[in-house]
Structure 1
Amino acid sequence: MKHIYISLLLFLAFLFSSCAPATPAIQPTQANPPTLVNTLTGPAPTQVFNSMNMLEIPAPSLSNNLIGEPTERTIYIYLPPSYNTSDKYYPVVYYLPGYTDSTMIGVRLPGDLDSLIESEKVKEMIIVVAGGNNRLGGGFYVNSPVTGNWEDFIVKDVVEYIDSHFRTLPQAESRGISGHSMGGFGSLNIAMRHPDVFGAVYSLSPGLFDENGLEESLFAREVTIKSFIGYENNLAALPLEEAAGRMLSSPDRFGLAYGYAFAPNPDRHPPYFDYPYSEVDGQLVRDEVVWKKWESGFGGIADEAVQYKDNLLKLKGIVVDYGTADENRWIPKGCVYYGEQLSAAGIPVKLESYNGNHGGQIGTRIRDYMLPFFSTLLTFE
């Protein structure tokens, strides 16, 4: 495992390097840069750290992926002001960035957190930013035989590394998980499946479908479908190795990433996932079984509320925060539907809506709502 030194200038450049996806499905908002960066030279608990640290950690959960994803990942960790001058142990909030993003957007680290703590708006806590950005822009924080086990990367690789290298309170009651957009979906999904690891979740503008969400998304547009069928046919005409080498070249990178996450099929000819449409005699034909796989990615909420009810009831808090003017019109509908389905199943959930778009106010939502939520709810001893 290697630790690397990266200058402040390089780190600032990195933070501003996020690019928008080829399709306007879920776009990140740029972050404000941190003012101080440190890299780790060892795990000793007495080591003196900077407030903001950049780490390269092992990611064994991503081994054996089929797209050449590295098994070392960069994460960021914020340490509260008293970390170097006390022997305290701290709760941890894990933040999952959105598609193509690697930052806590709209938040200046460490300055904003230091100010919130100094003004006693939030208690001292550790913040970990662990991105799911891969060669296609995102792994959606789910396990896939094609792109790697991104859920396990967060739940196992990242959490275990942080607990073994820093003074954390290693219990679910002292861990929160949050995220924006793709990361908002990931935070809800991971909290639902792992209440033994995370005790509360605050999701920001998450990718969620209601019962008609997939139909209303870009995935169901004829121009998108025909473009992908053409791409798939081109790969089918190539030998296996050549097709595998070109399979990441789709103009619809978001759709490609989504398919790898939710309908992977490593046993078929590249692109290694099942697509719900084909063209027969000039007509589009939909495979309903495969369509269900795609629908269950950001959707399937009603079934999950029943299947994971006991897990969801173990969480100390579930909040879904979204802008009513989100450019992705299916997201507000999906958030409302999520709240309705959990409430109908007897699972406490809170919806926080505001007049805003997909990413423009996320920094404010994090500072004024998400961080105080965890400060109130997590166990600090």
Structure 2
Amino acid sequence: MLPWKSEPAGRFEELVVDSAVLRGNPLGDPHERPLLVYLPPGYDEDESRRYPAVYVGQGYTGHLGMWWNRPAFRQPYPELMDAMFARGEAPPAIVVFFDAWTALGGSQFLDSPATGRYHTYLCEEVVPFVDGRFRTLAGRDHRGISGKSSGGYGAMVTAMLRPDVFGALATHAGDALFEVSNQPAFPRLARQLRDQYGGSYDAFLREFRERSIPRDGDIELLELYAYAAAYSADEDGTVRMPFDDNGALIAPVWQRWLDRDPVVMAAKPQYAEALRSMRGIWIDAGRRDEYFLDLGASAFLDRVLAAGVKQPQVYFELFDAGHGGIEYRYPLALAWLSERLAP
């Protein structure tokens, strides 16, 4: 396998979205955001043809440039996807790689008074931007959303929150079942905060921002803070952590997290109705996932089926892998979504 980029059969457009809703965001992050749009083979040959679109979000700490990262003996997702379409293994689709990075490493694709309005940015700015510039089939029945880890979380909750915008989803090891995937880390992080930062997240953040390179333990502390900024921030931007100095749950704050857990959301009538409206729901995870997101995937599947989603609309698989290095799964889900979103 060649260790450098190959010439694509389709075409990639690099664009910038000037976001009104991200302007002046609480973290001071850029309101001009990069966007990568893939146009499948044949797009330039028939100017009358329109295509379904699939939007792709990244995991925590992911940013747009990382899509082209190339480990030894592996191909990055954009190349795997392009080769799949070139071989005719799926109906052609436009694929949109969008950016929701923040100074905290991610936004969970939600609107938050602590980070910014990233859910609104996607649904009200990025989607119309793409529909206005490319020959999409501009309707929810021909528009899907996918992602891995935090990106998989974004796919689940965005489809439930805005079924008028997205009509199918794919989640790869998406964040879910928070009491299993997140809560076990709370005592360990409380101890780390106590021993290294006097129990103060403010002290950690201050030191983290002064360091040129993160040190061991930084990213996990920052990740939980980023989640709290997404799930449990007050209207004035104050971030409420779901555990106290001893790592024990703070029940009212933890409930705010659970209210944004896809497994909990899926049991609520309005979100169950949204799931029933989906043309396709792909759920997968590695059965050795280090964050137990295979259990989150199984729990989400249970809720999807309990909501009344019919089995032909759902694909579920636990495969032999951990949390990382599963980019080979993404084209499988993309092909499956493309079939269900095609006219």
User: Which deviates more, 66-75 or 333-342?
Assistant: 333-342
Check 1:84–1:358 CA distance in 2 against 1; reply closer, same or farther (3 A cut): same
User: Could you tell me which of 128, 138, 148 is aligned with 1:180?
Assistant: 148
Determine if contact 1:78/1:109 at 8 Å carries over to the other structure.
Answer: no
Determine if contact 1:57/1:75 at 8 Å carries over to the other structure.
Answer: yes
**Residue equivalent to 1:354:** 319
CA distance in 2, matches of 1:284, 1:187: 30
Listed as ranges, the matches of 1:1-381 within 5 Å are 35=6, 51-87=11-47, 88-102=49-63, 103-104=66-67, 108=76, 111-209=79-177, 211-216=179-184, 218-221=185-188, 222-224=190-192, 226=194, 230-232=199-201, 234=203, 251=218, 252-267=221-236, 272-279=238-245, 286-297=249-260, 299=261, 301-307=263-269, 308-329=271-292, 331-348=293-310, 349-362=314-327, 364-367=328-331, 369-380=332-343
- CA apart distance, 1:332: 1.3
Check 1:379–1:159 CA distance in 2 against 1; reply closer, same or farther (3 A cut): same
Q: For residue 273 of structure 1, what is the amino acid of its counterpart?
A: V
- CA apart distance, 1:89: 1.2
Check 1:166–1:303 CA distance in 2 against 1; reply closer, same or farther (3 A cut): closer
- CA apart distance, 1:147: 0.7
- CA apart distance, 1:344: 2.3
Q: TM-score scaled to structure 1, two decimals?
A: 0.75
User: Which deviates more, 246-255 or 86-95?
Assistant: 246-255
User: Which deviates more, 117-126 or 169-178?
Assistant: 117-126
Structure 2: stretches of 5+ with no match in the other structure: none
Count of residue pairs the alignment pairs up:
318
Check 1:285–1:183 CA distance in 2 against 1; reply closer, same or farther (3 A cut): closer
- CA apart distance, 1:185: 0.3
Identity %: 28
Determine if contact 2:51/2:135 at 8 Å carries over to the other structure.
Answer: yes
Determine if contact 2:276/2:307 at 8 Å carries over to the other structure.
Answer: no
Q: Secondary structure at the match of 1:129?
A: strand
Root mean square deviation of aligned Cα: 2.8
Check 1:325–1:284 CA distance in 2 against 1; reply closer, same or farther (3 A cut): closer
Determine if contact 2:90/2:335 at 8 Å carries over to the other structure.
Answer: yes
CA distance in 1, matches of 2:36, 2:125: 14
Q: Secondary structure at the match of 2:199?
A: helix
- CA apart distance, 1:108: 4.1
- CA apart distance, 1:155: 1.0
Determine if contact 1:266/1:273 at 8 Å carries over to the other structure.
Answer: no
- CA apart distance, 1:296: 3.6
- CA apart distance, 1:178: 0.4
Q: Secondary structure at the match of 2:97?
A: strand
Q: For residue 68 of structure 1, what is the amino acid of its counterpart?
A: G
Q: Secondary structure at the match of 2:54?
A: strand
Structure 1: stretches of 5+ with no match in the other structure: 1-31, 38-49, 236-242
Check 1:147–1:214 CA distance in 2 against 1; reply closer, same or farther (3 A cut): same
CA distance in 2, matches of 1:111, 1:234: 42
Q: Secondary structure at the match of 1:56?
A: strand
- CA apart distance, 1:373: 0.4
- CA apart distance, 1:291: 2.0
Structure 1 stretches of at least 4 aligned residues deviating more than 6 Å after TM superposition: none
- CA apart distance, 1:311: 1.1
CA distance in 2, matches of 1:223, 1:172: 46
- CA apart distance, 1:228: 6.8
The structure number with the bigger radius of gyration is: 1
**Residue equivalent to 1:17:** none
Determine if contact 1:339/1:350 at 8 Å carries over to the other structure.
Answer: no
Check 1:109–1:317 CA distance in 2 against 1; reply closer, same or farther (3 A cut): closer
CA distance in 1, matches of 2:75, 2:106: 21
Note the alpha carbon deviations across 1:79-121, whole angstroms, 9 max, x for none: 1121222111111111101111134476546643343223220
Determine if contact 2:24/2:31 at 8 Å carries over to the other structure.
Answer: no
**Residue equivalent to 1:24:** none
Q: For residue 341 of structure 1, what is the amino acid of its counterpart?
A: R
- CA apart distance, 1:59: 1.8
- CA apart distance, 1:139: 0.5
